[in-house]
Structure 1
Amino acid sequence: MGKFKLLYFASKGRGQPIRLLLHIAGVDFDDVKVTRKEWKDIKANMPHRKLPVLEVDGNLISQSGAILRYLGREFGYYGSNNVEKTRIDVISGAVDDIIFLMERLFYNETVEAAKEKLKKEMVSWRLEEFLGIMEETLKENHNGDTFFVGDQVSIADIQVYNVLDVIPEYFSDHAINMPPKLTAFVQRFKDIQNVKNFLNKT
């Protein structure tokens, strides 16, 4: 297998889970940080006209979820059986739902006063519900003391960690009540040696 090249912007966004997975797997890859100007020049040649894009042996793979599942299958982070794979898909879907709402909120043209009202509603309604559901889901596996699926880290853990990591940034002016098991999970994930090495460099 040839070298991997990830094309995404310098931000975390939908590229960060892919970076995390590649680092956890110990895979050597080119992390290409595309500028907005460069994006205008290459957009027409990118599949689906979106980033992130993963280049593998000259083949371009688009859509962050598809890239994560591809790499998860390739390196053993997508469950050991169909039940585990389905559980990973369910968790991934829940994360995608909340990210979609966050993106709609923060990347629209709503005036600031109206946006602030929407942020408060999202924190008190959707965000607290999401965190509660993720806490319950984590506790279903080894009482929430390991990872979300099975006995090792999976793409579900990477996706949940990524959204939990950016929530305080998105809602820095709002109090977020992080449940205890999720709080411990975030630290446990950050303590993975390859994750720690990566985060210390960023």
Structure 2
Amino acid sequence: MLPYKLIYFNMRGRAELSRYILAYAEIPFQDQRVEWKDWPSFKPSFPLEQLPVLEVEGGELNQSLAIARFLAKEAGLTGNSRLEEAQTDALVESLNDVTLLIPWREEDQGLKKQKIDKLFDCNVPKLLSFLEKHLGERDWLVGDAMTWADLYWHVCFTTFSVLRPGFASPYLGLCALIDRVGSIPQLALWIQDRPDSEF
């Protein structure tokens, strides 16, 4: 029996960071994907009627960042000191703040485009300028080793690139970080073999 079961929809979405961590650490897990048509019948059985959920040690853990943080600790990706751990958490939260502004549920396509344009004209450049300055000349966002913040940047970059290709091209350090993360063999294999989805 595999030690972890990660349950989410058949997309990258809010479970992909946890999948990256598990793939990087080469931790076997069951990647259970729920189809949208089946979700109404499953929904009442999950905490807060939301996904993702991680089943581990006979219990359930909900909330995507709580799951990812738990797994990052297991994988040794939280930083090499208490300060680095806090800095990593802060960067993850900063990235997450911007992803939460993506208007996924907006049905008015004109309004949706306006909101996406505002996101990439205002919020995203502010975030990227901060991250580029924070990265500086280092290879990784925190300290001298990769953390789950670097993985989350790769996950966010992939999603943002669907919405606005080339959005990060002026930020050479962050683009180099994308290449650095994507070239890690176990992550490159995950990215190559994962189910295809737009988001």
Task: Using the TM superposition, give the Cα deviation of residue 181 of structure 1 relative to its aligned residue in structure 2, in angstroms.
Answer: 0.4
Task: Using the TM superposition, give the Cα deviation of residue 196 of structure 1 relative to its aligned residue in structure 2, in angstroms.
Answer: 0.7
Cα distance in 1, alignment partners of residues 42 and 109 from structure 2:
32
The alignment-based identity, stated in percent, is 26
Q: 1:107 aligns with which of 85, 105, 108?
A: 105
Q: Which runs of 4+ in 1 moved over 4 A?
A: none
By relative contact order (CA 8 Å, sep 6+), the higher-ranking structure is 2
* Corresponding residue of 1:20: 20
Task: Using the TM superposition, give the Cα deviation of residue 120 of structure 1 relative to its aligned residue in structure 2, in angstroms.
Answer: 2.0
Deviation per CA, 1:43-99, whole angstroms, max 9, x where unpaired? 111112111111112211000110111111122111121100110111011011101
Task: Using the TM superposition, give the Cα deviation of residue 38 of structure 1 relative to its aligned residue in structure 2, in angstroms.
Answer: 2.6
Question: For residues 60-99 of structure 1, what are the structure 2 equivalents within 5 Å?
Answer: 60-99=60-99
Q: 2:143 aligns with which of 150, 162, 187?
A: 150
Shift in CA distance, 2/33, structure 1 to aligned 2, threshold 3 Å: closer
Task: Using the TM superposition, give the Cα deviation of residue 170 of structure 1 relative to its aligned residue in structure 2, in angstroms.
Answer: 2.0
Cα distance in 1, alignment partners of residues 39 and 109 from structure 2:
28
What TM-score, normalized by structure 2, do the two folds share? Answer: 0.91
Task: Using the TM superposition, give the Cα deviation of residue 135 of structure 1 relative to its aligned residue in structure 2, in angstroms.
Answer: 1.0
CA contact (8 A) 1:147 1:157 kept: yes
CA contact (8 A) 1:78 1:155 kept: yes
Q: Superposition RMSD on alpha carbons, in Å? A: 1.6
What TM-score, normalized by structure 1, do the two folds share? Answer: 0.89
Q: Secondary structure at the match of 2:7?
A: strand
Question: For residues 132-143 of structure 1, what are the structure 2 equivalents within 5 Å?
Answer: 132-139=129-136, 143=137
* Corresponding residue of 1:162: 155
* Corresponding residue of 2:119: 122
Task: Using the TM superposition, give the Cα deviation of residue 101 of structure 1 relative to its aligned residue in structure 2, in angstroms.
Answer: 0.5
CA contact (8 A) 1:2 1:56 kept: no
Q: Secondary structure at the match of 2:31?
A: strand
Cα distance in 2, alignment partners of residues 119 and 42 from structure 1:
31
CA contact (8 A) 2:168 2:174 kept: no
Question: For residues 26-65 of structure 1, what are the structure 2 equivalents within 5 Å?
Answer: 26-65=26-65
